[in-house]
Structures are given as C-alpha cells and as structure tokens.
C-alpha cells in the first residue's frame, strides 16, 4: 500500500450545487502538486461525473450525503474516493459499459467512460440498497512542494 503524503476528507449534501463545489475542492487539493492544466481539468471532470452519479442515481435527487476521501500518495498519485449510501448498482460491469444508462433518454450513459478516459484507473464497488464507492486514481506529472 502506498503511503499518504497529504489527504483530506469531507462530506456534503447531495444537492446539485455541490457538484461544482466538490469539483473545485478536489481541484484545489490536486493543484497543490502542480499538475498540468490538462491533468487538473481531467481530474475535475471525472470528479464531477462521479458526484453527479451519486446525486441523480444513488440518491435519485432525494437528500443524502456524499463522502469524499482524497489523498496524494507517494509517487504523485492522486486517489479520490467518492461514496454514497444510496440505492447501489445491481450490475457494475453493465453500468460501466459506454452508453448504458438507467435514466433512459435523459442521460447519455457516458459518465463512467469519461472517468475511465480521464483517470489512470476507476474502481467501482457497490452493494444494492447500501451504496456505491468510486475510486479514481491519477498520476500527476508535477512535483509536490512538500
């Protein structure tokens, strides 16, 4: 297991305004290790997708809490865990297929595809009725000023 060089945890209500709040907070944390503009924007976009999924799918637009646990690990690896205690996902591998969505025509079913293309790895653990944890990892080429 890689050691944490820096980390933070927070939780917010599952309100849609908090999508941009989470994106900005994780972005500010990631900015501490001097990412490129592209690395930073990719990570922020992936976080937005995961947080939006907690709001619209996990809690189905009802109030709940979203838990974020972010760490800078040895080797300039950023790891961001985004967790909800919502409805969970029945079939994770199907949910992660491009264009798969349970929201019909309202959504494009590309959230996980975006996360996978913008991060080095995306791990999803979910239990129906209990919730979902999405773990994003991304190596940053910059150097942390520790």
Ligand X SMILES: Nc1ncnc2c1ncn2[C@@H]1O[C@H](COP(=O)(O)OP(=O)(O)OP(=O)(O)O)[C@@H](O)[C@H]1O
CB of 52 to ligand X, least distance (A): 7
Order of strands, edge to edge, in the sheet holding 77-84?
Answer: 4-13, 65-73, 77-84, 131-139, 121-127
Residues, the chain, total? 146
| Spatial distance between the Cα atoms of 96 and 59, rounded to a whole number of angstroms | 18
Which of ligand X, Mg ion, none does 108 bind, CB closer than 5 to 8 A by kind?
ligand X
| Spatial distance between the Cα atoms of 27 and 86, rounded to a whole number of angstroms | 25
Binding site for ligand X (CB under 6 A): 49, 53-54, 57-58, 84, 86-89, 95, 100-103, 107-112, 132
Closer residue to Mg ion (CB): 52 or 140 = 52
| Spatial distance between the Cα atoms of 119 and 101, rounded to a whole number of angstroms | 21
Q: Please pick, among 18, 107, 116, 125, the residue that the annotation labels catalytic.
A: 107
Binding site for Mg ion (CB under 5 A): 53, 111
Active site (annotated) includes residue 6: no
Residue nearest to Mg ion (CB): 111
Active site residues: 49, 53, 107
């Amino acid at each position: 297991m890689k050691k944490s060089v820096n980390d933070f945890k927070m939780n917010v209500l599952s309100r849609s305004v908090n999508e941009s709040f989470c994106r900005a907070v994780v972005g500010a944390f990631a900015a501490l290790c001097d990412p490129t503009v592209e690395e930073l924007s990719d990570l922020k976009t992936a976080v937005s997708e995961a947080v939006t999924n907690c709001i619209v799918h996990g809690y189905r637009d009802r109030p709940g809490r979203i838990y974020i646990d972010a760490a800078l690990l040895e080797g300039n690896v950023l790891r961001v865990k985004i967790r909800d205690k919502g409805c969970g996902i029945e079939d994770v591998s199907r949910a992660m297929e491009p264009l798969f969505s349970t929201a019909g025509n309202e959504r494009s079913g590309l959230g996980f595809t975006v996360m996978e293309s913008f991060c080095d790895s995306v791990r999803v653990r979910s239990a129906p009725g209990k919730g979902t944890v999405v773990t994003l990892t991304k190596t940053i080429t910059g150097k942390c000023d520790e």
